Structure 1
């Protein structure tokens, strides 16, 4: 009975992940961009778990701004999407912007891009759905915002997360897993920075399909290693950090696609990239600690159940990767 409970605990992330958007940043997004002096473009995205019954309220603009013309508000891809034009008298620095309708764990990244000042990033939460636009953006603000985004992205980006979980299931050794995860982070940091800064790039569709394939590969390696315990360990098991580094280069392009969609603050691009990467690494280490603790608990409570638990979890991870691969190839 204990090992059945353990199986379900190991499978729970996979069950949740299957219908989820694999590489979607959870926060909502609001951008105010000045297109001409005093004229602003407003766009927002607010993810939801259930379609809203009524038309959601638009963002509350600074008190020296007002919407001009019709607001376009609709739904698509499990999110409320809105766009509008606004006119502002004078600068928005020092003013407050807010978003009604944030509930629970929802949060929203706000990007303010005036013509005569550097763009800045703010973060709204359900507990504090308003924020003051800085007169002079501070680097510490950028570091805090993008650090949180990095943590949230690894925890909500299920394809990257399943890759890390599969890596832990393959190695099952704390020190080796941390080395491999650090190699993964170093690699995706290289391609993330290169892609975000415009030095390198790959089409998003093929990248997402190959990321799904990397998950299938690791799931197959776990099962292959388990079925061949008496033979020579596979190359992946002997040198997991090399495999993690190579696939990390690929995953970096996926991170770059998500980060590019929300933008980087002008003047603090390096700080934002650094904070985002540190957040991703922190999220990975948290996941590694949880999975290793789970494996240790199973090993202590019912050691005979460990192998079937890893087998079943690996099949679940592999099937999820296969589903994403097919979905991304035919999309």
Structure 2
């Protein structure tokens, strides 16, 4: 158990500094006038092996389309951006577009935006790096894809992950954890919806810094409780209030990730709801896993419980502090 927990902590220490950023590969096919289409793509550095290297993945466009010129590519922050004009004949339904391949288990987002019909959004995977264009977009396709995207964001978005873990370590008690997690859910749902629909918004840099600060704050609270179990801090007395306050900030982070992915025209509410449900599913999985680990540790190695929790807390606090400094001055 101790070795397993230490392995988890080492993995957390190796987490990237840009922890909250969901950086999918994105490819978009947009119709212009007179049978002219434009295909644009964004390949993260991980997918393109750097801005100056030939990308592992290349855009795939429908067979009814031909390129009218050479592609234009440029480097951006941690991504390679590309654009190419196409001339397409007839209906594109039943034809494929996307990327030639996806490596490393990564996902991608593909969007097809015609002028006179609803847009279609697809989630591409390593097994299916290209999508089949449908005559009409399916609502269940949107639900499925955005549900997975939301779950992946919290499971692989290290800062949201560490916040939830630290919250469980602080509260520990089953019903109190449920109330705190519910408050966090309600809060980030409010700001996620408000931001995605254009009613609110904050610059990404202060949001990212505040998210890192929330991790440091909870880590300090857990360390205080471990040192003085009888001490009743405000957070320990009202964890749901603290979870709600920081949840509002984390919601802006979720909204930023969703903005990177984009939402399908005509299915904005469906995509937003599915993404949020995916986030909640991932969050419940994290809470259940941490509670199960804590229960197993308490029963199997009661003497090791406090040292393991202390090491875990210091690791979480150190990572959060690094992110905070990097996001403030980096």
Q: TM-score, normalised by structure 2?
A: 0.92
Partner of 1:256: 255
1:11 aligned to which of 9, 18, 25: 9
Tell me, in whole angstroms, the C-alpha distance in 2 between the residues paired with 1:248 and 1:58.
38
Secondary structure of the structure 1 residue equivalent to 2:71: strand
Structure 1 residues 207 and 35, CA, compared in 2 at 3 Å: closer, same or farther?
farther
Structure 1: state its 5+ residue gaps: none
Q: How does 1:138-287 map to 2 (within 5 A)?
A: 138-231=138-231, 233-287=232-286
Q: How does 1:39-50 map to 2 (within 5 A)?
A: 39-47=36-44, 48=46
Higher relative contact order (CA 8 A, sep 6+): 1
Q: Is the 2:24–2:43 contact (alpha carbons within 8 Å) kept by the matching residues of 1?
A: yes
Q: How does 1:12-161 map to 2 (within 5 A)?
A: 12-17=10-15, 19-47=16-44, 48=46, 51=49, 54-73=54-73, 78-161=78-161
Shift of 1:55: 4.1
Structure 1 residues 277 and 41, CA, compared in 2 at 3 Å: closer, same or farther?
same
Shift of 1:143: 0.5
Structure 1 residues 302 and 6, CA, compared in 2 at 3 Å: closer, same or farther?
farther
Shift of 1:174: 3.1
* CA deviation map 1:241-261 (0-9, x unaligned): 111111111111111111112
Point out the more displaced range, 276-285 or 80-89.
80-89
User: What's the RMSD between the two structures over aligned residues?
Assistant: 2.1
Shift of 1:155: 1.2
Point out the more displaced range, 265-274 or 62-71.
62-71
Structure 1 residues 57 and 288, CA, compared in 2 at 3 Å: closer, same or farther?
closer
Structure 1 residues 285 and 35, CA, compared in 2 at 3 Å: closer, same or farther?
same
Point out the more displaced range, 120-129 or 66-75.
66-75
Q: Is the 1:26–1:152 contact (alpha carbons within 8 Å) kept by the matching residues of 2?
A: no
Q: Is the 2:146–2:274 contact (alpha carbons within 8 Å) kept by the matching residues of 1?
A: yes
Structure 2: state its 5+ residue gaps: none
Point out the more displaced range, 30-39 or 116-125.
30-39
Structure 1 residues 204 and 296, CA, compared in 2 at 3 Å: closer, same or farther?
same
Tell me, in whole angstroms, the C-alpha distance in 1 between the residues paired with 2:196 and 2:34.
28
Tell me, in whole angstroms, the C-alpha distance in 2 between the residues paired with 1:40 and 1:327.
41
Q: Is the 2:47–2:55 contact (alpha carbons within 8 Å) kept by the matching residues of 1?
A: no
Point out the more displaced range, 20-29 or 267-276.
20-29
Shift of 1:39: 2.3
- How many residue pairs get matched? 327
Q: Is the 2:65–2:89 contact (alpha carbons within 8 Å) kept by the matching residues of 1?
A: yes
Partner of 1:288: 287
Shift of 1:188: 0.8
Q: Is the 2:110–2:131 contact (alpha carbons within 8 Å) kept by the matching residues of 1?
A: no
Shift of 1:223: 0.7
Shift of 1:13: 4.0
Structure 1 residues 194 and 55, CA, compared in 2 at 3 Å: closer, same or farther?
closer
Q: Is the 2:48–2:55 contact (alpha carbons within 8 Å) kept by the matching residues of 1?
A: no
Tell me, in whole angstroms, the C-alpha distance in 2 between the residues paired with 1:89 and 1:230.
74
Shift of 1:74: 5.6
Tell me, in whole angstroms, the C-alpha distance in 1 between the residues paired with 2:8 and 2:290.
8
Structure 1 residues 49 and 223, CA, compared in 2 at 3 Å: closer, same or farther?
farther
